[in-house]
Structure 1
Amino acid sequence: MRHRHAAAAARHGVSALCGALAALLGRRARLRWVHLVLGGALLMPYWLLAAVFVGPLSGAEGFLDNSVALQFGAYAAALPLVAVTALAPVARPLSVALARPLCGVPPERFVDGAAGLARTRAARLRTSAWCTLHFGVGALISGASLALPPFAVSVMIVPFSGSVRDWLGAPGFLAQPAARVLAPLAGVAMLLALAAWSAAAGALLARVAPLLLGPTPEDRLASAERRAAELAERNRLARELHDSVGHALSAVTLQAGAARRVLGSDAPGDVEFVREALAAIEDTARRTVGELDCVLGLLRHGEDGGADPAGDLTGPGLDALDGLLARSGVRVSLTSGGDPAAVPPAVSREAYRIVQEGLSNVLRHAGGPAEAAPAALSVLVGDEKLVITMENPLPGRPGPVRPGGGRGLRGVAERASLLGGHAEAGPRQGVWRLSAVLPLRRPLRSPLRSPLRSPLEGHQR
């Protein structure tokens, strides 16, 4: 039993020793030592500049004098110069590029990309503090790495070489037998102390790096705004695809299904109905190809440094409403008022999509074109707002419902909200009513301020 405990203690001791050596001499410690040495090298120009002015004040014969006063005086004067020059915006991405592969810190904790430039006062001050710390500590480690190893090797060999002892002018007691044991140990201890000092300095920089080179609150806010803008753009594309392609596929599927059922019956006028259905399918498919090309063009937006996405979107507007109603497969009575040409293009495009989604709902839940009850559409253009109302009788039997509900009515609410308006949908006195009010003079609302939940979300069809 004692032997087993002794063996376990020995293994534990060996493991601890290996862990300590890895911490002092492992790959991470070596990379951090390289990072510190680079900081010392970057301080050298500042040190030389400071030595030119500090030399006369310290009484040195020249700026390359080896006096301690000159060395440390120039070092102390160089650090403020580093702090001032590190206020430049470009200093932060350069520091991040140097620290990322060498500090042993997860890359995501640093500022990256275009956001790396220090544009705010807080970011510049943090970068200045980092550069001062990195260069200052790095210079001390670099100096020690240059001076201490040769001195430690000299201490280790001086008891064994009289010529080296005479050349160094070492005291005579180093020739004693005890010195031949203690001197090598002292030299090894110096080297281990240097490694420990370097590892501790590297660990200090690794701990401080995310605080000084990581994102500031302004960076986090800007990143959140970029993510929100990207999400809003994705939602916008999803709405366009849903309303254009989704409507077309629903209409084509229902028209084709109705034509197939009619061909299987012997009712008079079958051929004429099928002909009209096929013509509607052809027209819908042809129109949707153009709309799909427009929507896919949004995916390439920005490759040529384009303008505001809200301003360069093209697509059908209220002027194309007659064609949409004629080939929708739904009997629609249209009531219009005002001048559609006075509606801004952005509002006109969104109004078209809202009507398109209303027609898709009528078709989808009626069961097919032949079964769809007449719908009433009202498009009224006023001085300040555009009011769209679509009503259709509720079907006697529930129509097919997709698992999880549809997304069209939520898209209608988002379109209206982005324009500063509102939309409502739901059963009203035996009819299904979809209404939207769109301001004509109010600019597009920022996507970051759009509601997270649609007011129509509870009535998705």
Structure 2
Amino acid sequence: MPGLLLPLTRAVTYTRWLHMLMGAIVPFVCAMVYPGLYKPSPGDWLLTAVLPVPLVLAAAMVPVVRRAEGLQARLMLFPGPHARVRDDEDPGVSTVASASWSDRVRTGAWLLLRMETGLVLTLVTNELLTLALSLAGAAAGEPGVADPLLRVPGTGWAYLLLVPMPVLVLLLVVTGAGALMAKAARALLGPSVKERLSELEKRTERLLERNHIARELHDTLGHALTTAVVQAGAARAAGDPDFTDRALETIEETGRAALEDLDRVLLVLRETGRPAGARPALDEASRLLDSARSSGARVDAEVTGALEHLPGPVSREAYRMLQEALTNVLRHAGPVPIGVRIAVEAARLRLEVRNPLPAQPPATGPGGGRGLRGIRERAALLGGEARAGQDDGQWLLRVDLPLR
């Protein structure tokens, strides 16, 4: 029994009750015009339920009506800040205007259901409350206080014990009807197929953006940390104050650039609607080459074509690919000779990074292979491809990106 009465203590039960009673406003307003509300007969009540149907269906054709009904249903039919229970689950009710005839038909069905349910519940509410008043009057010796359909014979104090019964029955009816209306709202006001596809596309875009940010952080911080580690190791091994000064200067510059990139990425995370600062492009590749040279590697670079005229997305992603390629060389092979070739052709950009194979294969940690996988993913998103493997006793990374 306590579990049965628990819904009666929740505010959402009474907001649902109010929501259903509001559905009777239209038929009662129409009934004031015809057939009238003075001593209505069963036939009059039938007309009251039928006459507003064309008006309600016409209203359902207006796209914004679906949005208004969805907002009302979300606010009044489902637990929220006004309820005593916490429910973080999405109600599954759309709050956008009708975009198709299917939406309009479902909105029409919802309006009809809400109107008829509101009319019936209003009559039931009136009858049960009238019966409770009649029982109270009979207990007080005045049986004519109210005139319910179910007559109360005689008078007597014993009727006082029966006064709560109609109220309790009414509350239980309201609870059950409210739960059914919430289910009907999900079915008739729920997102259409088009809305579900749109939400799925937005979710996919958010996941892609999250993966993109993860790659940005991996490339930027990985390059900075690898350069710092190689520079520090080389300076300690050299034991030359001048070389140590140059190494510390390179570490400082690389760290400062990494902090700038980190601030830009964090800005995107904090304020999604605000554009971030400009990302480095391939025409700034000299910064990466100088950083690799300062780490002790001998870098032979060959650049053909105008890098500044590359399409923005291609230029920015190619910069990150070159950065990750140089980081991989320093991490796995150390300060070895590196050959870099960047060629801008008529319809594509070719990027090649070549280095000697290390004497011993590097130990692969938990993140091993993510750099090459990230390069391949970037190339695939631009419609190109990236290949890596041994070539004449050296390790070769080749990236081909279309310019259109």
TM-score interval for Structure 1 and Structure 2 normalised by the shorter chain: 0.7 to 0.9
1:291 aligns with 261
Question: What SS is found at the alignment partner of 2:346?
Answer: coil
Q: Give the distance between the partners of 1:387 and 1:173, measured in 2 at CA.
A: 95
Q: How far has the Cα of 1:364 moved from its partner?
A: 0.3
1:456 aligns with none
User: In the alignment, is the contact (CA less than 8 A) between 1:424 and 1:436 conserved in 2?
Assistant: yes
User: In the alignment, is the contact (CA less than 8 A) between 1:319 and 1:340 conserved in 2?
Assistant: yes
Matched residue type, 1:296: L
Q: How far has the Cα of 1:40 moved from its partner?
A: 1.8
Alignment of 1:226-265 (within 5 A): 226-263=202-239
Q: Which runs of 5+ in 1 are unaligned?
A: 1-17, 56-62, 264-269, 307-311, 442-461
Asked if residue 90 in structure 1 is aligned to residue 67 in structure 2, the reply is yes
Asked if residue 391 in structure 1 is aligned to residue 358 in structure 2, the reply is no
Q: Give the distance between the partners of 2:341 and 2:144, measured in 1 at CA.
A: 107
Evaluate the alpha carbon distance shift between residue 359 and residue 154 of structure 1 in structure 2; reply closer, same or farther with a 3 A threshold: same
Q: How far has the Cα of 1:160 moved from its partner?
A: 7.4
TM-score of the superposition, structure 2-length normalised? Answer: 0.82
Q: Give the distance between the partners of 1:166 and 1:433, measured in 2 at CA.
A: 97
User: In the alignment, is the contact (CA less than 8 A) between 2:24 and 2:122 conserved in 1?
Assistant: no
User: 1:132-155, CA deviations, whole angstroms, 9 ceiling, x for partnerless residues?
Assistant: 323321232122212332234425
Matched residue type, 1:436: V
Of 281, 295, 300, the residue aligned with 1:317 is 281
Question: What SS is found at the alignment partner of 2:279?
Answer: coil
Q: Give the distance between the partners of 1:129 and 1:105, measured in 2 at CA.
A: 30
Question: What SS is found at the alignment partner of 2:205?
Answer: helix
Asked if residue 118 in structure 1 is aligned to residue 93 in structure 2, the reply is no
Evaluate the alpha carbon distance shift between residue 158 and residue 294 of structure 1 in structure 2; reply closer, same or farther with a 3 A threshold: closer
Of 343, 365, 370, the residue aligned with 2:332 is 365
Evaluate the alpha carbon distance shift between residue 192 and residue 327 of structure 1 in structure 2; reply closer, same or farther with a 3 A threshold: closer
Q: How far has the Cα of 1:314 moved from its partner?
A: 1.8
User: 1:239-280, CA deviations, whole angstroms, 9 ceiling, x for partnerless residues?
Assistant: 1122122201110121012111222xxxxxx34433332332
Q: Which runs of 5+ in 2 are unaligned?
A: none
Q: How far has the Cα of 1:173 moved from its partner?
A: 11
Q: How far has the Cα of 1:186 moved from its partner?
A: 8.0
Q: Give the distance between the partners of 1:277 and 1:140, measured in 2 at CA.
A: 84
Of 363, 376, 381, the residue aligned with 2:344 is 381
- Number of matched residues? 390
Of 289, 302, 308, the residue aligned with 1:335 is 302
Between 1:207-216 and 1:419-428, the stretch displaced more is 207-216
User: In the alignment, is the contact (CA less than 8 A) between 1:420 and 1:438 conserved in 2?
Assistant: yes
User: In the alignment, is the contact (CA less than 8 A) between 1:118 and 1:124 conserved in 2?
Assistant: no
Q: Give the distance between the partners of 1:128 and 1:173, measured in 2 at CA.
A: 41
User: 1:292-336, CA deviations, whole angstroms, 9 ceiling, x for partnerless residues?
Assistant: 3433343355435x5xxxxx7622222222232122122111122
Question: What SS is found at the alignment partner of 1:90?
Answer: helix
Q: Give the distance between the partners of 1:340 and 1:289, measured in 2 at CA.
A: 25
Q: Give the distance between the partners of 1:346 and 1:212, measured in 2 at CA.
A: 43
1:309 aligns with none
Q: How far has the Cα of 1:356 moved from its partner?
A: 0.9
1:13 aligns with none
1:432 aligns with 395
Q: Give the distance between the partners of 1:402 and 1:255, measured in 2 at CA.
A: 21
Of 172, 184, 187, the residue aligned with 1:211 is 187
Q: How far has the Cα of 1:289 moved from its partner?
A: 3.6
TM-score of the superposition, structure 1-length normalised? Answer: 0.73
Q: Give the distance between the partners of 2:340 and 2:389, measured in 1 at CA.
A: 15
Q: Which is higher, the Rg of structure 1 or of structure 2?
A: 1
Q: Give the distance between the partners of 1:53 and 1:379, measured in 2 at CA.
A: 83
Asked if residue 66 in structure 1 is aligned to residue 66 in structure 2, the reply is no
Asked if residue 50 in structure 1 is aligned to residue 30 in structure 2, the reply is yes
Q: Give the distance between the partners of 1:224 and 1:436, measured in 2 at CA.
A: 32
Evaluate the alpha carbon distance shift between residue 413 and residue 301 of structure 1 in structure 2; reply closer, same or farther with a 3 A threshold: farther
1:150 aligns with 130
Q: Give the distance between the partners of 2:250 and 2:112, measured in 1 at CA.
A: 73
User: In the alignment, is the contact (CA less than 8 A) between 1:243 and 1:356 conserved in 2?
Assistant: yes
Q: Give the distance between the partners of 1:278 and 1:167, measured in 2 at CA.
A: 95
Evaluate the alpha carbon distance shift between residue 126 and residue 96 of structure 1 in structure 2; reply closer, same or farther with a 3 A threshold: farther
Q: Give the distance between the partners of 1:387 and 1:353, measured in 2 at CA.
A: 14
User: In the alignment, is the contact (CA less than 8 A) between 1:155 and 1:186 conserved in 2?
Assistant: yes
1:418 aligns with 381
Matched residue type, 1:319: D
Question: What is the root-mean-square deviation of aligned Cα atoms in Å?
Answer: 3.5
Of 396, 399, 407, the residue aligned with 2:370 is 407
Evaluate the alpha carbon distance shift between residue 140 and residue 340 of structure 1 in structure 2; reply closer, same or farther with a 3 A threshold: same
User: 1:10-38, CA deviations, whole angstroms, 9 ceiling, x for partnerless residues?
Assistant: xxxxxxxx258527x7335x743542343
Question: What SS is found at the alignment partner of 1:108?
Answer: coil
Of 348, 353, 377, the residue aligned with 2:320 is 353
User: 1:407-435, CA deviations, whole angstroms, 9 ceiling, x for partnerless residues?
Assistant: 22222112112211111122334221111
1:198 aligns with 174
Evaluate the alpha carbon distance shift between residue 109 and residue 346 of structure 1 in structure 2; reply closer, same or farther with a 3 A threshold: closer
Between 1:288-297 and 1:136-145, the stretch displaced more is 288-297
